Amino acid sequence: MRRLAGVLAALLVLMATGTAWAGTVTAPPPPSVAAQSVVLMDASDGQVLYAKHPHRQLYPASITKIMTALLALRHGHLDQVVTVSAKAAAVRGSSCYLQAGQQLTMRDLLYGLLLVSGNDCAAAIAQAVGGSTANFVGMMNREAAKLGARGTHFANPDGLPNPQHYTTAYDMALFTRRALADPEFVRVDTTRSFNFPQKSGPPLTFVNQNRLLWNYPGDLGVKIGYTNQAEETIVGAARRQGMTLIAVALHTTPAGIWSDPEHLLSWGFAHFTPAVAVTRGSRVTTSPVRFGREKEVGVLAGASFRYAAPQGGPQVLTRRVRLEPLRAPVRSGQVVGREEFLLNGQPLGEVPLVAGSAVAVLPAPPPLLWGLLALAVGLWTWRSAQLNVRRRRRYRWGRSALGQRWYGDD
């Protein structure tokens, strides 16, 4: 009983800390972090490797600008010329010292936004992309919902305190995962210094505020933030051993802003290795096809699926193939189902399944064949009717003959 109680107590401790260890028997000691809320995510598939209060809603501060940059790259153009409004130039907080009437490219504004966290750059981007700050904020919230965020609501493009401006560590990892898929975002965000043009006079040299670029091997950025309400916040990412990990820390300490992402990333790289569940184009199974020239079609993986496999302990990868009923015609590359992956019983993700070749409809018989078939059916029906008539006549005749013999015997 004491041993059982000890096991249960250990499980409760793991549940309380929020450790996500993909179902292994013995989880490693969790990373040491000071933040109230953290998430460590594998960027390839969104797999959460470790979490502590991942859905707690907190102020994000300037890591908000990851979403601002994401929308600028998606809906704007890098060479687009933006004229700074008086309202944008007057935004309080961290600044790139923009002046009303100053003209800059969207590329310049992104460098000011991500390297030195210019709130004035955020406002100028929002007005240029959304037509107004209010419209841009609506775009931010719609994009957040589209990416699967359930605990985020934006009220501005810069992260200044607002009761209606909050997020979660998990949601920020989702946004960052999408941002890191854009090479231009990574290119800007990992730039160490940039000469920022001024309205008059020589450019100002801005140095990236993210110390991880200098101190953590393989670092990919991405953003830091601070307000009195949010305290220190940071999103970090790094690529090693063919694996990209994202670390988010909300409401941390001045020391934790650097140590938290380092500890999370190092813990992930030490305890997980990249693995491939399926590669695009590989044959998964076959599927029957109704009314087709071929009775079945080969089913291929429509995408590759990579994940982080825990080192040590059991690793049971389960595959579930779910196919739709197929009826000819079938197009080559047509989505015909999906393959789901589970690691030690925990869902990892899925890939679409596609038809490996086209299947044409089975051609209809020629008219002559239809005519012969109809004639055969007609003859068979007529013959069956004739036989039935003869059977009935014989039956009646037999009964009549039997009756005559009976009465004659009396």
pLDDT at 314: 72
Query: On the CB side of 9, how many CA atoms lie within 13 Å of its CA?
Result: 6
Given 37, 52, 65, 223, the catalytic residue? 65
Q: Provide the token pair at 51.
A: 């979490």
Measured in degrees and rounded to the nearest 5, phi and psi for residue 42 equal: -80, 120
SS (H, E, C) 159-174: CCCCCCCEECHHHHHH
Neighbouring CB atoms inside 10 A of 304's CB total 14
pLDDT at 245: 98
pTM: 0.80
DSSP 360: P
Q: How far apart are CA 322 and CA 338, in angstroms?
A: 5
Higher pLDDT: 14 or 328? It is: 328
Q: How far apart are CA 156 and CA 86, in angstroms?
A: 17
Confidence of residue 16 (pLDDT cuts 50, 70, 90): very low
Estimate the share of the chain in helix, then strand, then coil, as percent rounded to the nearest 5: 35, 30, 35
Is residue 408 scored above 50 in pLDDT? no
Confidence of residue 8 (pLDDT cuts 50, 70, 90): very low
Which position has the token pair 């933040």? Answer: 35
Given 37, 44, 94, 117, the catalytic residue? 117
65 is catalytic: yes
pLDDT at 387: 76
Inter-helix orientation angle 65-75/133-146, to 10°: 100
What is the arithmetic mean of pLDDT over 164-178? 98
For residues 177 and 171, the answer to whether their CB atoms sit within 8 Å is no
pLDDT at 2: 38
Percent of all residues in the chain with a pLDDT value above 90, rounded to a whole number? 76
Q: How far apart are CA 408 and CA 402, in angstroms?
A: 10
- How far is CA 370 from its chain centroid? 53
What is the arithmetic mean of pLDDT over 31-39? 96
62 is catalytic: yes
What tens digit of pLDDT does each residue of 247-293 get?
999 999 999 999 999 999 999 999 999 999 999 999 999 999 999 99
Q: Provide the token pair at 178.
A: 């999408």
223 is catalytic: no
What is the arithmetic mean of pLDDT over 17-46? 73
Q: Which helix (H) or strand (E) holds 102?
A: none
pLDDT at 367: 66
What tens digit of pLDDT does each residue of 214-229 get?
999 999 999 999 999 9
Q: Encode burial over 81-104: b for 16+ CB neighbours within 10 A, e otherwise.
A: ebebbeebbebebbbbebeeebeb
What is the arithmetic mean of pLDDT over 114-134? 98
The three-point CA angle 119-123-127 to 5° equals: 170
Classify residue 215 as exposed, middle or buried by CB count within 10 Å of its CB (0-12, 13-18, 19+).
exposed
What tens digit of pLDDT does each residue of 145-165 get?
999 999 999 999 999 999 999
What is the arithmetic mean of pLDDT over 384-395? 71
Q: For all residues of the chain together, what is the average pLDDT?
A: 88
279-355 has CATH 2.60.410.10 classification = yes
Where along the chain do its domains lie?
Answer: 11-271, 279-355
Given 62, 85, 94, 287, the catalytic residue? 62
What is the arithmetic mean of pLDDT over 199-224? 94
Q: How far apart are CA 147 and CA 170, in angstroms?
A: 11
Residue type, 369: L
Q: How far apart are CA 109 and CA 72, in angstroms?
A: 10
Confidence of residue 12 (pLDDT cuts 50, 70, 90): very low
Q: How far apart are CA 309 and CA 300, in angstroms?
A: 24
Sign of the torsion formed by the C-alpha atoms of 61, 64, 65 and 66:
positive
Assigned fold of 11-271? Beta-lactamase (3.40.710)
Q: 393 Cβ partners below 8 Å, 6+ apart?
A: none
Residue 204's DSSP bridge partners are: 196
